[in-house]
Amino acid sequence: MQTLNGEASGLVPEVLHVLYFAAGSGFAAFRNAYLEEIGLSGVEIGAVGFLVPVVGIVAQPVWGLVSDWGNLEKEVLLVGVVVTGLTASVYPAVARTGLVVLAGASAVISAFRAPVRPVANALVLSTGLDYGTVRAFGSLAFGGAVLALGVLVSRVGTEVVFYVYAGGMALVALLLTRVPVAASPPATGIGREVRRLVRNRAFLALLCTAFLVGTLLSTAGSYFAIYMRAIGAGDGLTGLALAIKTVAEAAVFLRAYRLDVRYRTLLIAGCLAHVGTFLVYAAVPVTGVVLAVQLLLGLGYATVTLAAVNLAHEVAPVALQSTAQTLLAAVGFGAGAGAGELLAGRLMDLVGVQSMYGYVALLGVVAAGTGLAVSGAARTPGATDA
């Protein structure tokens, strides 16, 4: 596992998260709205959405093993951001040529974007930095950027988000080329450690819960812009809603270190927060109420993410920190996101986007139940401050 050298471990993780989340905010919020604009049906949007995490499921563990075996975290991150940035820059040009070409471009972005967040998370945790504090910078950047992009999209069109993403990845790549890391030889005994990890019951329970949570996260993010349009709110209000959500996220990430609570408790609380939010979407399609409930959704997302990443770090061997994070992202959240895309796309065609959220909320209840089976003694840092 590489670690950042000397003073490089100061602001570099924060700046990297700011650039990455700001650049990807519009892509995450408006991708499906763009696909709807160019004529895709709900089933076709769901199929593309399903393909993206499926490719990630295959790619992420491979990237994680490469990172851990060769201690190549920086190199993996650099390749990922360069290829995804280049592909995003031509995405609007190829998207209108047909579903097959569009799916291919989406698959390329997914395959090379797959390692960026989990490998970056592992690198941050390996330095001893508090993940929540670093991640808060990403949330604030996402919120500010998506608020601005919501206004920009309403004026110049949805495809601008792809060019913003490409430019942001260019800046991330430039930052990575200037980051010194501590050199270390390739790891040994990786195969043995992988077998230990995949047989760990605590890790398997975490993956099952993350799978169900992934369905909630994909629905919350991928279909929200369509939902807002359906209830009569414009793209600018979509950006405002996501900004409110990310401010709430950042507050939780920043304050979590003061808590004295098990990460499993946070995981369950995050699932239930998604349930409450989705029930409001289904039952009270009023713009003001939807904006207000973004605070609850932000709390839920932050607690789920914080808990899952730290629990994976706790149970993984030192030599497999990147692998554990990529497995969590792929087999857990990624596979769940794929299932959620297909399910939500189908439900949207059958009952409409508003009622769809009521059905998906039931999965949140199941996720909270499986969260009870996740073991782990890890607690938030506040437990050590008392």
Rounded to whole angstroms, the Cα distance separating 169 from 25 reads 12
CATH number at residue 304: 1.20.1250.20
In a domain, 189, yes or no: no
What is the reported pLDDT for 40?
83
Classify residue 386: in a domain, yes or no: no
* Separation between Cα atoms, residue 36 and residue 385, nearest integer Å: 50
For residues 108, 110, 116 and 121, what is the CA-based torsion angle, rounded to 10 degrees?
-160
Distance CA 212, CA 59 (A): 20
Tell me the CA distances in angstroms from 237 to 34, 144, 195, 295, 386, one per residue in order: 16, 13, 48, 15, 42
Predicted TM-score (pTM) of this structure:
0.69
Predicted local confidence at residue 180, as pLDDT: 61
Range of the domain at 163: 10-183+200-377
Q: Examine residue 5 and state whether it is found in any structural domain, yes or no.
A: no
Q: Is residue 1 part of a domain?
A: no
Whether 360 maps to a domain, the answer reads yes
Cα gap 294→287, rounded to integer Å: 11
CA neighbours within 13 Å on the CB side: how many for 365? 9
Q: What is the pLDDT along the chain (386 residues), one digit of tens a residue?
A: 555 544 444 556 778 888 888 888 888 778 888 888 888 887 888 788 778 778 878 888 888 888 777 777 788 889 999 999 999 999 988 888 888 888 899 999 989 988 888 877 777 777 677 777 787 888 788 878 878 888 888 888 888 999 999 999 999 898 888 766 555 545 555 666 777 777 778 788 888 889 998 888 887 777 888 899 889 887 778 878 888 888 888 888 888 767 778 888 889 999 999 999 999 999 999 999 999 999 999 999 989 988 888 888 887 777 777 778 888 888 788 788 778 877 888 888 889 889 989 988 998 899 998 888 787 666 776 655 44
* Cα–Cα distance for residue pair 287/304, rounded to 1 Å: 25
> Is there a domain that residue 3 lies in?
no
Task: Report whether 49 contacts 104 (CB < 8 A).
Answer: no
For position 179, what pLDDT does the model report? 67
Q: Report yes or no on 212 lying in a domain.
A: yes
The number of domains in the chain is 1
Give residue 25's pLDDT. 84
The answer to whether residue 213 is domain-embedded is: yes
